[in-house]
Amino acid sequence: MKAVVFQEDAETEMLEAAAYYEAQQSDLGRRFLAAVQDAINRIVLNPSLYPVVVFDVQRCLTKIFPFGVLFRDRPEQIEVIAVMHLHRAPDYWQKRR
């Protein structure tokens, strides 16, 4: 099984989103993190299932929450580039490449 590595910006935006959801309702932040983990688990199982959005970057949608996990499937690891809110400017993360 491949290791999963988060770029620093991706981890930060994931934790900020979890904090936002937790401030809205108790336990909602934990449920958000569980949804992201579920997406990552699905990516690790079969990364080729997910569409390419730009060059070699693919996207897996989370369940329930309006977020996508943007990643690169590398030979030795899965590199998470963004945990992106789907209603945000769609290409904000491209400077991270």
- Domain boundaries along the sequence of the chain: 3-87
Q: What are the pLDDT digits (tens) for 33-78?
A: 999 999 999 999 999 999 999 999 999 999 999 999 999 999 999 9
Q: Which fold has domain 3-87?
A: YaeB-like fold (3.30.2310)
Q: How confident is the model at residue 95 (pLDDT cuts 50, 70, 90)?
A: low
**C-beta contacts of 81-90 below 8 A and 24+ residues apart:** 81/7, 81/10, 81/57, 82/7, 82/9, 82/10, 82/13, 83/10, 83/13, 83/14, 83/17, 83/36, 84/13, 84/59, 85/17, 86/61
SS3 of the chain: helix, strand, coil, percent, to 5? 45, 30, 25
Rounded Cα–Cα distance for residues 14 and 20 (Å): 10
Q: For all residues of the chain together, what is the average pLDDT?
A: 93
For residue 16, give the amino acid letter.
E
Q: How confident is the model at residue 1 (pLDDT cuts 50, 70, 90)?
A: confident
Q: Which pLDDT does position 61 carry in this prediction?
A: 97
Q: Give the pTM.
A: 0.91
57-61 vs 67-73, strand pairing mode = antiparallel
